[in-house]
């Protein structure tokens, strides 16, 4: 009798866990499909609704939070160079909705939102018209290495290292995605830059040519061309897409990417407006 009771209990627990998991998956898929109705997105985003168990949250449509990741979002400003893409993401704090299966027009009443827009080095290079651009976060001045986890440094807003090939005297329409396809004169350099956000737009300020210990390019740039080369790294980019058009306030390097972030307090959001 005890064995039968234990077997029954285990079966009920497993059934409850499966029901809870399947319900959470349904809710996440419903929210992902609702977000895809946004004109900003071409591909279904990844959605994770936090909190366990899920069913008590679904009962009142009150959730602990959610994480949204949308990849391959089109970015204006470089159509002539094959187009640019970015990753958009958002972390929602506690929120309520009209239904646990969230639709495109349902309202999400959130207590907080943290949003970001991520540009990898390839797409940043296209926006800057710099060929074969790479992004690196240098280590502190008193440490060897490339600024990775072993150096205790994962991101920076100043002294970010950009290496790329600058076309000299070329109109934007003639700059290809790869240096090997550009027939004109070029110079490959490593430049340190500071990152800022001005009116919601990424602002990049070059601070000089780099010759430190991290991987870089030693280039003999003639004095007459130094200002022209550095000017390629000085740019305020067009306004990039961001989740629910929340204006970013900070920018930093993160690995080989540049990330713009924003945080807000309570806000009402509709998935179709992502």
pLDDT in tens, the chain (274 residues): 888 877 777 877 787 788 878 889 999 999 999 999 999 999 999 999 998 888 888 888 899 999 999 999 999 878 767 789 999 999 999 999 989 999 999 999 999 999 999 999 999 998 988 888 999 887 666 665 555 555 555 688 999 999 999 888 776 667 776 666 778 788 899 999 999 999 999 999 999 998 877 778 887 888 888 888 899 899 999 999 999 999 999 999 988 899 999 999 999 999 999 9
Q: List Cβ<8 Å contacts ≥24 apart for 33-39.
A: 34/102, 34/103, 34/104, 34/106, 34/271, 34/272, 35/68, 35/70, 35/104, 35/271, 35/272, 35/274, 37/104, 37/271, 37/272, 38/271, 38/272, 38/273, 38/274
pTM of the predicted protein model: 0.86
């Amino acid at each position: 009798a005890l064995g039968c009771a234990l077997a029954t209990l285990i079966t009920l627990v497993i059934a409850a866990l499966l029901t809870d998991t399947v319900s959470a998956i349904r809710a996440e898929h419903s929210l992902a499909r609702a977000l895809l109705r946004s004109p900003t997105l071409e591909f279904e985003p990844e959605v994770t609704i936090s909190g366990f168990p899920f069913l008590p949250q679904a009962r009142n449509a009150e959730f602990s939070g959610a994480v949204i990741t949308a990849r391959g979002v089109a970015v204006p400003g470089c159509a002539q160079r094959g187009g640019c893409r970015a990753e958009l993401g958002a972390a929602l704090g506690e929120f309520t909705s009209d239904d646990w299966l969230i639709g495109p027009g349902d309202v999400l009443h959130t207590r907080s939102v943290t949003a970001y827009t991520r540009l990898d080095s390839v797409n940043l290079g296209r926006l800057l018209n710099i060929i074969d651009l790479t992004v690196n976060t240098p280590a502190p001045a008193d440490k060897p290495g490339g600024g990775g986890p072993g150096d205790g440094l994962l991101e920076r807003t100043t002294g970010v290292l950009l290496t790329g090939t600058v076309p000299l005297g070329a109109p934007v329409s003639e700059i290809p995605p790869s240096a090997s396809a550009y027939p004109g004169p070029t110079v490959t350099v490593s430049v340190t830059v500071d990152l800022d956000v001005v009116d919601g737009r990424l602002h990049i300020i070059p601070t000089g040519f780099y010759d430190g210990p991290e991987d870089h390019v030693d280039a003999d740039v003639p004095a007459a061309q130094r200002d022209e080369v550095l000017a390629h790294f000085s740019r305020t980019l067009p306004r990039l897409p961001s989740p629910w058009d929340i204006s970013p306030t900070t920018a930093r390097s993160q690995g080989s990417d540049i990330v713009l972030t924003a945080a807000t307090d309570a806000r009402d959001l509709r998935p179709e407006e992502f």
